[in-house]
Amino acid sequence: MAQRVLLIIGGGIAAYKSLDLIRRLRERACEVRVVLTRAAQEFVTPLSAGALSNDRVFTDLFDLDDEREIGHIRLSRDADMVIVAPATADLLAKMATGQAGDLATAVLLATDKPVLVAPAMNPRMWDHPATRRNVRQLVSDGVHFIGPKAGEMAERGEAGVGRMAEASDIADAALQLVGGRSEGPGPLAGRHVIVTSGPTHEPIDPVRYIANRSSGKQGHAIAAAAAELGARVTLVSGPVALADPVGVDVIKVETAAQMMEAVRSALPADIAICAAAVADWHVVEAAGQKMKKSNVGAAPTLALAENVDILQTVARRGPRRPGLVIGFAAETENVIEHGQRKRKDKGADWIVANDVSPSSGTFGGDRNTVHLITADGVTSWPPDSKDGVARLLIGQAADWLSHHRIDV
């Protein structure tokens, strides 16, 4: 049965890509209806969107013919899902605050169907605290995100994170979200992949904690790449300001102990990828109230204990050990040497070693330079986006599984 998609096109220069998105969705046997915001009509016309969708295009909340039948409610109910592409900063703000002043926002407020958002805006707008706050709110509300991507902007000399995801990627993510697949089962179909991502927060008192600078971008990209290849993916994520990858089961945790328990509960698996930057220590007895500075200027003494080693625990030989266990070694010096030692000490099959020194820009950035360390040696990959690293890693893991028999 064809999936029915309601596409809301926002008012940004990336709106022209949404015309290609209509075509990509129809290639995947989707029925597409289009809503154009007033600003979107400055970039694309109802005529062009209607010609590609082979349906009427909707623009006005107060259209007498449509609203006689409560049109915005009907539009929201008739679709299997809603896509917003491009989603501008303004449109995200309206969604996050529940506004319904035009047809697009009224439909979004009225729908009970999955919503997939493809942001597109200037990098400074994407990084603005207000936008980040709106994204966190929408993620909390259950809205799914794809992108934005890093690259050149329409404005001369502007580059960064803010480009709308490619039309084919949005179409594939949409089908995953509603339970369809566009290109067959994929090489990881029937496989279960566990990925850990982000930092952990180990409480000192109710307002302070021990943590690190991990953004979770690499781990989340790995989970998304595994889902793209057809795997059932469980992502165990520490506290991050990222959208949940489409088509992935996400378990959100705070501490290393909680992450370990979530991983144990998710086993068995074919592949386990420990990409999280887990805090090495926790405070033995976290204070129940906020700790105060003393009048004499003495710093409090914190008794620390080592956290459970998740990678080593998962890699331990036994009936529930995944067939392929991959760990990450985030190092600031002697990257390959430390990664080789970690692979042996932890019992991992592969280690992905990378330089996270401040000059590398890896923590919080969108690019990574890694070395894949296996029993056969070291392969140094060229610098790439974190999405690119994720796809290459998952591709090699899928190839490894295809040549090894694993029963889970």
Residues involved in catalysis: 212
CA-wise closest residue to 84 among 128, 146, 133: 146
Which of 324, 355, 357, 326 is closest to 338 using CA atoms?
355
Bridge partners, 352 (sequence order):
328, 372
Residues of 27-53 as b/e, b for ≥16 C-beta within 10 angstroms? ebebbbbbbbbebbbebbeeeebbebb
Phi, psi of 171 (to 5 degrees): -65, -45
What 3-state DSSP class applies to 41? helix
172: tokens are: 């594939």
What's the CA angle centered on 245, arms 172 and 29, to 5 degrees? Answer: 15
Output the six-digit token pair for 142.
């259950």
In this structure, the number of other CB atoms found within 10 A of the CB of residue 235 comes to 29
SS3 content of the chain, % helix, strand, coil (to 5): 35, 25, 40
- How far is 61 from 193, CA to CA, in rounded Å? 44
Question: Quick check: 7 and 55 in contact, CB under 8 A?
Answer: no
